[in-house]
Every structure is written in structure tokens, then in C-alpha cells.
Copies of this chain bind each other. A is one copy, B any other.
Amino acid sequence: MKNELRIFCPATIANISCGFDVLGVALDSVGDEMVIRKISKKGVFITTLEGQELPMETDKNVAGVAGMAFLAASDYKGGFEIEIYKKIKAGSGIGSSAASSTGAVWAMNELLDRPFTTLQLVEFAMEGEKLASGVAHADNVAPALFGGFTLVRSYEPLDIIPINTPSELVATVIHPQIEIKTSDSRKILKTNITLKDGIKQWGNLGGLVAGLFTEDYDLIGRSLEDHIVEPIRSILIPGFKEVKAGALGAGALGCGISGSGPSIFAFSKGKDTAEKVAQAMKEVYQKIGIAHDVHISKINNVGIRILK
């Protein structure tokens, strides 16, 4: 049995247009690194945190909180040290907190020879999400742990459904470097929606899930519509309309807000298109002078993985 693991913790796109609060997908080439180490002393200790300015106290760090939830449910008598090497920017909308909280509990579970199911790990990681945003949501942690596309069908009881990933699907994500807090981004949403918009949304969600299973790229594109959240949240993202128009013009299947923003994602069929889409998205922010990062990534079908 190994005593420590170095792992890759993927960035994730949540919501995915019509899948508000239920859908998420894991990325392949964007993510953090973590090292988790078994120690004899009871407790969870963040010993290294590089790349982002985040608290290292166990009860203020999402990996720490998720790890403590794991430990509380486990009969393991020792503890864990955690090293976090952040590559995902906090607050970018691609699951920075989920990467840390899932990485911690996934590696702990591996080091103890898997006492918990993946679904139980989702529950522990959700404690980290609760610290980060005030809501214990699962739409980022589920894909990080299961890989691919996941659907949170229900919270009570927690029911996570893995969805098929079409092999040629490539994501482009642009992160304009402005700050939007997840909690603020939630506050501007309305409590009520029209039944008419609801019907459109579940029609599209059904279409998207069908398109993912049948690998029908055109259907995936048609279904990437959001009449409920995008019209409100996109107001907080400068240049959103132009970026989306640019992405679609360059051949993207669809484009929307990643998580609660400000990152914007697009899906394309094939890497060549995804690169053209990235170029079109970048040009908008170059023109209006907003600093930005762009990621192009295949879909990650395995979730967190061990690094050599």
C-alpha cells in the first residue's frame, strides 16, 4: 500500500446551458495537482499551497473541510497531509474549489483502499463546496470524481447519473479576469421562472442528454440553449454576447457560461474547430482589453487520476 499519492484534479464546467444546477463535465488538460500523504497524527493538515492565495487552515480550506468530512465518517485512526498546487484560478468558474475538495477525498479513499463509494466521496466533497459558496452543490464535484458528463438527478437522496461522452467533443474555455463571486452570482437569479421557460429548458436538457448518448453533435449544439439563467448572469460578464457570437461563428456547437462565470465555455466537434473557436473568443477580449486565459481540452472520462 502506498503512503502518498500525487494526483491530477480536473477543472470542470458546471450548468452547461440547459443543465443549470444538474449537469457538469470534467476537463482533461486543465486542473490542479495535489499530493496527499498518510500520517499517524489524527487530522487533516494543509502543508503546501502554491499558485493561488487561499487559506491554509484546515477549517477554512475546501480540501481541509472535505477531508475532515471524510475522516469523520472513516474508522481510520491516523490523518493526512495535503499539498496543493493550484493551476485553476479561484473564482474563474471552472470548479477550482471542487478540484481541491474532490482531490483530497479521492486520494484519501485510495490510500485507505477504498472504504467509500464514489457517491459517498461526492457527499464529503460537497462539504468543501458549502464552504466555498454557501451551497453544498454537486455539479462540479460529481464530474471531477466520476469523469465525463454527470447529471445530478436529485439531492435528496443524492443521485448522480454518469452520461456518455461523445469521443470527438472538445471544450474551449475562456476566462476573462474579472471577479464574480459564486454567492453574488446566485443572488441575482430569480426565485420563480415561467412554466413556458421551464418547458423549453427541460426539452433542451432532454435533447442534450439524448445527443450525448447518441453522439449526435448537431443535436448537442441545438440543445445548448438557456432561456433562464444565461440572460440574467451574462449581464455580469463583459463581452459575453460577442464572445458567444464569435464562438458560434467559428463553428462551435454551442456556447454558454461556465458554472456561475465569468468563464465562458464552448463545445466543438474536433480539436481544429475548438482552436478556431478559441481564437475567435480571444479576439473579443483582446479588442476590449480584458486580460484572459484560454483552455482547449478534450473531455476527461476518468476524473481524478494518479500522476507518476
Q: Which residue, of A151, A164, A210, has the highest number of chain B Cβ atoms within 10 A?
A: A210
Does A195 lie within 8 Å of B191, measured CB to CB? yes
Partner of A161, one of B190, B200, B206: B206
Q: Which residues of B contact A76 (CB under 8 A)?
A: none
Does B198 lie within 8 Å of A153, measured CB to CB? no
Partner of A153, one of B19, B161, B190, B207: B207
Does A210 lie within 8 Å of B163, measured CB to CB? yes
Interface string of A52-80 (1 = CB under 8 A from B): 00000000000000000000000000000
Q: Which residue, of A153, A161, A194, A195, has the highest number of chain B Cβ atoms within 10 A?
A: A153
Interface string of A176-207 (1 = CB under 8 A from B): 00000000000001111111101111111111
Q: When A153-B223, A219-B161 are in contact, do A195 and B203 touch as well, CB less than 8 Å?
A: no
Does B198 lie within 8 Å of A201, measured CB to CB? yes
Q: When A22-B202, A154-B222, A202-B202 are in contact, do A159 and B213 touch as well, CB less than 8 Å?
A: no
Chain B residue, CB-CB nearest to A189: B195
| A228 is an interface residue with CB less than 8 A from chain B | yes
| A4 is an interface residue with CB less than 8 A from chain B | no
Chain B residue, CB-CB nearest to A211: B161
Q: When A201-B198, A219-B161, A222-B154 are in contact, do A22 and B206 touch as well, CB less than 8 Å?
A: yes
Chain B residue, CB-CB nearest to A198: B198
Chain B residue, CB-CB nearest to A154: B203
Q: When A195-B190, A198-B193 are in contact, do A154 and B204 touch as well, CB less than 8 Å?
A: yes
Closest chain B CB from A190 CB (angstroms): 7
Closest chain B CB from A108 CB (angstroms): 28
Partner of A210, one of B19, B20, B21, B161: B161
Closest chain B CB from A200 CB (angstroms): 7
Q: Which residues of B contact A223 (CB under 8 A)?
A: 153
| A82 is an interface residue with CB less than 8 A from chain B | no
| A26 is an interface residue with CB less than 8 A from chain B | no
Does A202 lie within 8 Å of B152, measured CB to CB? no
Interface string of A128-171 (1 = CB under 8 A from B): 00000000000000000000000111100001010110000000
Does B195 lie within 8 Å of A195, measured CB to CB? no
| A9 is an interface residue with CB less than 8 A from chain B | no
| A126 is an interface residue with CB less than 8 A from chain B | no
Closest chain B CB from A226 CB (angstroms): 11
| A204 CA to B161 CA, complexed, in Å | 10
Does B203 lie within 8 Å of A206, measured CB to CB? no
Q: Which 3 A-B pairs have the closest CB atoms?
A: A153-B207, A213-B213, A202-B202
